[in-house]
Amino acid sequence: MIKENLASIKAKLPTGVTLIAISKTKPISDVQEAYDAGQLVFGENHALEMRDKHEALPKDIQWHFVGHLQTNKIKYIVPFVALIHSIDSGRLLEAVDAEGKKRDRIVDCLLQFHIASETTKFGLDLDEAKALLESETFKNMHNVRICGVMGMATFTDDEAEIQKEFKNLHGIYDTLKQEYFGQAPYFKEISMGMSEDYAIAIEEGSTMIRLGSKIFGARNYNI
């Protein structure tokens, strides 16, 4: 069904919205099946799982990291990662920068914002992001590039709430673009929208949707 799922999602996808297939917990064979159907962009939320899949699968796959990243795992993904969606502290960004320098790479990153009402989710608020972007430490980072923002809405059936949270993230993006990235054409991504809420996210200006179960089916969290 993976091929059919991809085809029906892509048929309705506006141009300018990138589909990231979130393959976490799914076997290599599922990723290969999606790849064979033409999908080249995948996302994972565990560093070692992403490294292992990267090693096993075709090298033209673009791997996006979407999970909470521990500093001691950065080294496993920096050599090949296409985009880290989940920068939620200055300390983490600094550590990615240091690893990028070691590997002679500029690592593309998004700042993750806490837009949900749940307190369990990770992310910065606007003031923290501004403090980070204005810091001397940030000005001395030459091996990371901030390409936009990412956020996860509250897990709820309340569509008005989800819409409000995505609008908030778009507003944060606009503020940062205006105040810090006006001259930076690479600052252009708003990563928002998952299997249950991506239609709302697209209406609210998402440029990257991250879909797992909609493509691969429900995940088995017991493994």
Ligand X SMILES: *Cc1c(COP(=O)(O)O)cnc(C)c1O
Binding mask 7-36 for ligand X (x = CB under 6 A): ---------------x-x------------
Pairwise CA distance, residues 218 & 221, whole Å? 9
Classify residue 123 as left (phi > 0), alpha (psi -120 to 50) or beta: left
Nearest to 148 by CA among 202, 191, 107: 191
**C-alpha radius of gyration, the chain, whole number:** 17
Contact range with ligand X by CB under 6 A, out of 98-106, 133-141, 156-164, 208-216: 208-216
66 is an interface residue for ligand X by CB under 6 A: yes
Contact range with ligand X by CB under 6 A, out of 3-11, 71-79, 200-208, 212-220: 212-220
Give the shortest CB-219-to-ligand X separation in angstroms: 7
195 is an interface residue for ligand X by CB under 6 A: yes
Give the shortest CB-57-to-ligand X separation in angstroms: 19
Nearer to ligand X, 96 or 194 (CB): 194
Give the nearest residue (CB) to ligand X. 212
List strand residue ranges (DSSP E) for 66-220, in order: 83-87, 107-113, 144-151, 189-191, 208-211
Nearer to ligand X, 143 or 213 (CB): 213
Nearer to ligand X, 48 or 184 (CB): 48
Classify residue 38 as left (phi > 0), alpha (psi -120 to 50) or beta: left
Contact range with ligand X by CB under 6 A, out of 90-98, 102-110, 125-133, 193-201: 193-201
For residue 102, what are the CA distances in angstroms to 65, 78, 92, 106?
19, 10, 15, 10
214 is an interface residue for ligand X by CB under 6 A: yes
The residue count for binding ligand X (CB under 6 A) is: 14
Give the shortest CB-126-to-ligand X separation in angstroms: 20
**Residue whose structure tokens are 């699968």:** 57
Nearer to ligand X, 54 or 210 (CB): 210
For residue 191, what are the CA distances in angstroms to 37, 86, 112, 197?
23, 10, 9, 12
Chain residues binding ligand X by CB under 6 A are 22, 24, 45, 66-67, 152, 194-196, 210-214
